[in-house]
Amino acid sequence: MSLSNSPSYHAVRSGKRTPDHSLARPSLLASLIDRARGWKVEFNRKNALIQQQKAELARSRKIFDRASEAARIGVWECELSDCSLRWTDVVYDIFELPRGSALDRSATLQFYPEASRARLEDIRSRAIAEKTGFTHDALITTANGNKRWIRITASVECEDGEPVRIFGMKQDITAEKTAVLRLRHLADFDSLTGLASRSRFQTHVAGDPDGGMAAAPLSAIVLIDLDRFKAVNDEFGHVVGDECLQETGRRLALLEPRADLLARIGGDEFAAVFGPAASRETVGRFGESVVRIMRRPIQASGHSIGLGASVGIVFSSDAADYARADAALYRAKAAGRGTVCVFGEEETSRPAPGPVASKAAKPGGPA
- Tens of pLDDT, residue by residue over 260-300, are 999 999 999 999 999 999 999 999 999 999 999 999 999 99
How many Cβ atoms sit within 10 Å of the Cβ of residue 178?
11
Q: What is the pLDDT of residue 256?
A: 77
**Alpha-carbon distance 14 to 35, whole Å?**
38
Q: At 220, phi and psi to the nearest 5?
A: -160, 150
Could you list the beta-strand ranges (E) of the chain. 73-79, 85-87, 133-141, 147-159, 162-172, 220-226, 261-264, 269-274, 298-300, 303-305, 309-315, 340-342, 348-349
Strands 309-315 and 340-342: parallel
Q: What is the pLDDT of residue 83?
A: 93
**Domains (range + CATH), the chain:** 71-178 (3.30.450.20), 189-349 (3.30.70.270)
Q: Do 238 and 229 form a contact (C-beta atoms < 8 A)?
A: no
DSSP state at residue 219: S
Which residues does 180 contact at the CB level (< 8 Å), separation at least 6? none
- Residue 362: pLDDT over 50: no
* pLDDT tens track for 305-360: 888 999 999 998 888 888 899 999 999 888 888 899 999 876 555 565 543 232 22
Q: What are 315's strand-pairing partners?
A: 220
How many Cβ atoms sit within 10 Å of the Cβ of residue 154?
22
* pLDDT tens track for 167-220: 999 999 999 998 988 888 888 899 899 999 999 998 888 887 766 678 888 889
With CA atoms as reference, report the closest residue to 279 among 219, 214, 320, 191.
219
User: Across residues 106-129, what is the average pLDDT?
Assistant: 94
Question: H or E segment at 139?
Answer: strand 133-141
Q: Do 142 and 113 form a contact (C-beta atoms < 8 A)?
A: no
Residue 51's pLDDT band, with cuts at 50, 70 and 90, is confident
Which residues does 97 contact at the CB level (< 8 Å), separation at least 6? 143
Strands 147-159 and 162-172: antiparallel
